[in-house]
């Protein structure tokens, strides 16, 4: 009797244990391995300002690329390939960018580069990469000439076939801002300021052209020195011009203090800028008087993109110290486009990288198409993103809030 | 001699002041007696608990279908492109002009257009078919937009990047989206505005 009972309880416990064991083994079998895939390691380079005024944006780019590589490795997305990331600091300087480009080209394991942040830096890197057929995907460059050539206003011509970008160009961003300012905000007199850099001057130019076409008046223009933070002389000129709005072509380290000093000079008018000022640091630098300032930024508002939510969750889970900032989603998509191109080349070559991998990856990039963090990711004949969405944000209650969203279709 | 002795007892050593454990039999006696009295019940309970635990674990870790993807926001699935200029419909007021756009819903449920406007003062816009109208994924719809110049002094002399403002609704949300229709629309609009206002002093 006692033995029978013991057998019964043992059987019941064994059944339970076996059940649990079976569940456990089935579960872990589906997950695959999180560790490296073995085989070949492919390096994705990152060039961005990792130190200095713009480092908040640059570190967000670096971390987002790192996240893409980790996700690809975790999913074993390209069989036999492990991705790693090597990041170099360009300090937002064209000369540093060119040095970094040369370094990446000299490393055979680097098969694609994400970056840079600044259009002026990109200009110094494009030829270096193109000569080596090393693909470059920028998440943030907005200067039209990088893809459409120096005469893009009259005749578009692609100079570098290895250059792509996931960001929208100033050819759309500046006019979109002008349309909003003139038609929606009902401002007809603008004062235009830029920092003389490729990005800032270009953006100010496209805004000015459209604003004048619409019937608006430019009541003053100024250039500032980005190395200073004292803009009191310019602020006084803005005050005396009778402008209803200031358009600034440049980035947030200067735009924040500029906005603050314009208001302090007595001109209680909004400052409007492009994606270069769409950063939380702008709000901190501009202070309370920055409420009502506006920025256009490439892409749709993150909260309307389901794919973005997954990115935000994964970024948080990865525990990066710095925020993904304005270009995080675009950086992830830039890195993933390289991963997709590598996958295509490897798949077409019997599961291995070919000897001329760089050239083949550059060619494959032209036909990459996938649903990314920022929407559908693919490139047109110039290397520009086909997804051309823009959003106007306003500083409201100490944060950027979307107030207008647009989609460009130039076909 | 100073210093700290070994942290772990050495092999064969034993602390002198450790109390002797009570004989096991005396401590276990009440439990054993209880078990002897209710052996069947205890065994049955243990077996039930094991089965329940196993079943519960199985239930909690059962393979589940991933939740269906959320319905996308309407602005994320609608594409609008300029097609061509069109003859103004009969009965349209003077200083009107028309053009055709193609609306596509790329995926998800049908999207209803509830309003079509344009941002310039001095211009009004109307759509045919009349709003509201629905468009399904995979069934592109041609829309004729007729604009009427109400005040020439308030229309733009020129525009590089004009857009249409369209209010879209699906089961997820209502959104107002600006559709920038590109250079062909810009040229058509500029030309039409010049013609409409060429003989007008207003």
- Are B113 and B144 part of one and the same domain? yes
- Cβ of B157 within 8 Å of Cβ of A213? The answer is yes
Q: Is residue B7 part of a domain?
A: no
- Are B89 and B189 part of one and the same domain? yes
- Are B49 and B87 part of one and the same domain? no
Q: Is residue B45 part of a domain?
A: yes
- Are B30 and B93 part of one and the same domain? no
Distance CA A74, CA A70 (A): 6
Q: Is residue B6 part of a domain?
A: no
Q: Name every residue whose Cβ is closer than 8 Å to that of residue B178 and which is 6 or more positions away in sequence.
A: A176, A179, A404, A405, A406, A407, B119, B163, B164, B165
Q: What SS3 class is residue A117? A: coil
- Cβ of B163 within 8 Å of Cβ of A184? The answer is no
Can you read off the two tokens belonging to residue B123?
A: 């211009």
A221 DSSP β-pair partners: A192
Q: What SS3 class is residue A389? A: strand
Kindly state whether B117 is in contact with chain A, defined as any CB-CB distance less than 8 angstroms: no
Q: What SS3 class is residue A242? A: coil
Distance CA A14, CA A17 (A): 5
Per the listing, tokens 């003053």 go with A220
Number of domains in chain B: 2
CATH topology of domain A171-298+391-407: Rossmann fold (3.40.50)
- Cβ of B175 within 8 Å of Cβ of A405? The answer is yes
Domain boundary assignment for chain A? 40-167+306-379, 171-298+391-407
Q: Name every residue whose Cβ is closer than 8 Å to that of residue B35 and which is 6 or more positions away in sequence.
A: B42
For B102, the domain range is 74-197
**Interface with chain A: mutation pick from B40, B41, B45, B47, highest number of A CBs within 10 Å:** B47
Can you read off the two tokens belonging to residue B32?
A: 């054993």
Q: Is the pLDDT assigned to residue B18 strictly greater than 60? A: no
Give the right CATH number for A40-167+306-379 from 3.40.50.80, 3.40.50.2300, 3.40.710.10, 3.60.20.10: 3.40.50.2300
Kindly state whether B159 is in contact with chain A, defined as any CB-CB distance less than 8 angstroms: yes
Residue of chain A nearest B73, judged by CA positions:
A304
Give the per-residue pLDDT at B157.
76
Kindly state whether B182 is in contact with chain A, defined as any CB-CB distance less than 8 angstroms: yes
Q: Is residue B12 part of a domain?
A: no
Q: What is the DSSP letter of B48?
A: H
| pLDDT one digit per residue (tens) for chain A, 411 residues | 444 444 444 444 444 443 433 333 333 333 333 334 458 999 999 999 999 989 999 999 999 999 999 999 999 999 999 999 999 999 999 999 999 999 999 999 999 999 999 999 999 999 999 999 999 999 999 889 999 998 988 888 999 999 999 988 888 899 999 999 999 999 999 999 999 998 899 999 999 999 999 999 999 999 999 899 899 999 999 999 999 999 999 999 999 999 999 999 999 999 999 999 998 999 999 999 999 999 998 788 766 777 788 899 999 999 999 988 888 999 999 999 999 999 999 999 999 999 999 999 999 999 999 988 888 899 999 999 987 888 999 999 999 999 999 988 766
Can you read off the two tokens belonging to residue B191?
A: 């030309």
Distance CA A367, CA A340 (A): 10
CA distance A2 to chain B (A): 9
Write phi, then psi, for A338 (nearest 5 degrees): -65, -45
Can you read off the two tokens belonging to residue B65?
A: 């279908």
Task: Count how many residues are written for chain A.
Answer: 411
What is the sign of the dihedral through the CA atoms of B120, B125, B131 and B135?
negative
- Are B30 and B56 part of one and the same domain? yes
CA distance A185 to chain B (A): 11
Residue of chain B nearest A2, judged by CA positions:
B39
CA distance B61 to chain A (A): 8
Q: Is residue B14 part of a domain?
A: no
Q: Is residue B127 part of a domain?
A: yes
- Are B129 and B190 part of one and the same domain? yes
Per the listing, tokens 């004009």 go with B162
**DSSP secondary structure string for all residues of A78-126:** STTEEEEEEEEE-TT-HHHHHHHHHHHHT-TTEEEEE--S-HHHHHHHH
- Are B37 and B88 part of one and the same domain? no
Write phi, then psi, for B4 (nearest 5 degrees): -110, 135
Instruction: Round to the nearest angstrom and report the end-to-end CA distance of chain A.
Output: 87
Give the per-residue pLDDT at B41.
81
For residue B163, what is the domain's CATH number?
2.60.40.1230
**DSSP secondary structure string for all residues of A6-27:** HHHHHHHHHHHHHHHHHHHHHH
Task: Count how many residues are written for chain B.
Answer: 202
Give the per-residue pLDDT at A358.
98
C-alpha closest to that of A69 among A79, A82, A57, A60:
A82
Of A183, A305, A306, the CB nearest to B69: A306
- Are B141 and B186 part of one and the same domain? yes
- Cβ of A210 within 8 Å of Cβ of B160? The answer is yes
Our measurement of the distance from residue A209's CA atom to the centroid of its chain's CA atoms, rounded to an integer in Å, reads: 26
Can you read off the two tokens belonging to residue B148?
A: 């009427």
Per the listing, tokens 């492990």 go with A82
Of B51, B120, B160, the CB nearest to A175: B160
Q: Is residue B49 part of a domain?
A: yes
- Are B90 and B176 part of one and the same domain? yes
Q: Name every residue whose Cβ is closer than 8 Å to that of residue A198 and which is 6 or more positions away in sequence.
A: A118, A119, A120, A123, A143
- Are B88 and B143 part of one and the same domain? yes
**Predicted ipTM of the assembly:** 0.71
- Are B55 and B79 part of one and the same domain? no
Residues of A with CB under 8 A from a CB of B: 2, 5, 8-9, 12-13, 15-16, 19-20, 23, 27, 172, 175-176, 178-179, 183-184, 209-210, 213-215, 300, 304-306, 375, 388, 404-411
pLDDT band at B189 (very low <50, low <70, confident <90, very high): very high
Of B69, B157, B161, the CB nearest to A179: B161
Average pLDDT over chain B, rounded to an integer: 81
Q: List the Cα angle A18/A22/A23 in 5-degree steps.
A: 120
Would the CATH topology of A40-167+306-379 be identical to that of A171-298+391-407? Answer: yes
Of A8, A20, A175, the CB nearest to B161: A175
pTM, 2 dp = 0.75
- Cβ of B161 within 8 Å of Cβ of A210? The answer is yes
Give the per-residue pLDDT at B121.
87
Q: What order of strands is seen across the sheet that includes strand A40-48? A: A81-89, A40-48, A110-114, A136-138, A163-165
Residue of chain A nearest B120, judged by CA positions:
A183
> Are A386 and A147 in contact, with CB atoms under 8 Å apart?
no
Q: Is B85 exposed, middle or buried, given 0-12, 13-18 or 19+ CB atoms closer than 10 A?
A: middle
Q: Is the pLDDT assigned to residue B26 strictly greater than 70? A: no
């Amino acid at each position: 009797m006692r033995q029978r009972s013991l057998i019964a309880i043992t059987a019941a416990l064994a059944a339970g244990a076996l059940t649990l064991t079976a569940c456990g083994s089935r579960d872990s079998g589906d997950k695959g391995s999180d560790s490296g895939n073995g085989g070949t390691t492919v390096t994705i380079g990152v060039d961005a300002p990792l130190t200095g005024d713009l480092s908040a944006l640059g570190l967000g780019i670096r971390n987002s690329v790192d996240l893409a590589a980790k996700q690809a490795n975790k999913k074993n997305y390209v069989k036999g390939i492990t991705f790693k990331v090597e990041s170099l600091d360009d300090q937002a300087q064209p000369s540093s960018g060119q040095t970094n480009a040369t370094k990446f080209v000299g490393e055979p394991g680097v098969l694609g580069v994400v970056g840079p942040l600044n259009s002026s830096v990109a200009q110094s890197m494009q030829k270096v990469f193109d000569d080596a057929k090393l693909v470059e995907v920028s998440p943030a460059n907005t200067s039209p000439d990088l893809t459409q050539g120096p005469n893009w206003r009259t005749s578009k011509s692609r100079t570098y076939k290895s250059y792509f970008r996931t960001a929208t160009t100033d050819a759309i961003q500046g006019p979109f801002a002008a349309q909003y300012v003139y038609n929606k905000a009902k401002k007809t007199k603008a004062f235009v300021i830029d920092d003389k850099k490729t990005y800032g001057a270009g953006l100010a130019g496209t805004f000015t052209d459209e604003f004048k076409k619409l019937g608006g008046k430019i009541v003053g223009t100024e250039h500032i020195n980005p190395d200073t933070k004292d803009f009191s002389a310019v602020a006084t000129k803005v005050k005396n011009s009778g402008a209803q709005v200031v358009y600034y072509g440049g980035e947030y380290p200067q735009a924040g203090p500029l906005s603050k000093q314009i208001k302090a000079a007595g001109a209680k008018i909004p400052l409007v800028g492009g994606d270069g000022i769409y950063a939380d640091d702008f709000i901190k630098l501009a202070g309370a008087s920055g409420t009502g300032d506006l920025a256009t930024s490439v892409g749709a508002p993150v909260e309307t993109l389901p794919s973005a939510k997954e990115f935000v969750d994964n970024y948080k889970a990865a525990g990066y110290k710095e925020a993904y900032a304005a270009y995080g989603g675009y950086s992830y998509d830039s890195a993933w486009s390289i991963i997709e191109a590598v996958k295509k080349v490897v798949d077409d070559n019997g599961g291995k990288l070919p000897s001329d991998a760089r050239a083949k990856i550059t060619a494959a990039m032209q036909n990459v198409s996938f649903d990314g963090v920022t929407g559908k990711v693919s490139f047109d004949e110039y290397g520009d993103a086909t997804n051309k969405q823009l959003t106007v944000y306003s500083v409201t209650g100490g944060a950027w809030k979307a107030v207008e969203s647009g989609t460009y279709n130039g076909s | 001699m100073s210093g700290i002795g070994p942290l772990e007892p050495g092999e064969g050593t034993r602390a002198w002041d450790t109390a002797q454990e009570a004989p096991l039999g005396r401590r276990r006696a009440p439990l054993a007696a209880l078990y002897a009295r209710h052996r069947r019940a205890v065994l049955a309970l243990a077996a039930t608990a094991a089965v329940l635990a196993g079943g519960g674990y199985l239930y909690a870790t059962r393979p589940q279908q991933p939740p269906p993807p959320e319905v996308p926001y309407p602005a994320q699935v609608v594409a609008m492109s300029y097609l061509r200029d069109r003859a103004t419909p009969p009965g349209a007021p003077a200083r009107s002009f028309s053009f055709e756009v193609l609306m596509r819903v790329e995926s998800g449920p049908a999207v209803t257009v509830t309003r079509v406007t344009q941002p310039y003062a001095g211009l009004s816009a109307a759509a045919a078919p009349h709003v509201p109208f629905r468009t399904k994924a995979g069934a592109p719809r041609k829309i004729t937009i007729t604009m009427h110049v109400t005040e020439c002094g308030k229309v733009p002399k020129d525009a590089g990047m004009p857009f249409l403002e369209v209010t879209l609704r699906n089961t997820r949300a209502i959104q107002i989206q600006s559709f920038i229709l590109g250079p062909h629309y810009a040229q058509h609009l500029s030309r039409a505005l010049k013609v409409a206002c060429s003989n007008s002093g207003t």
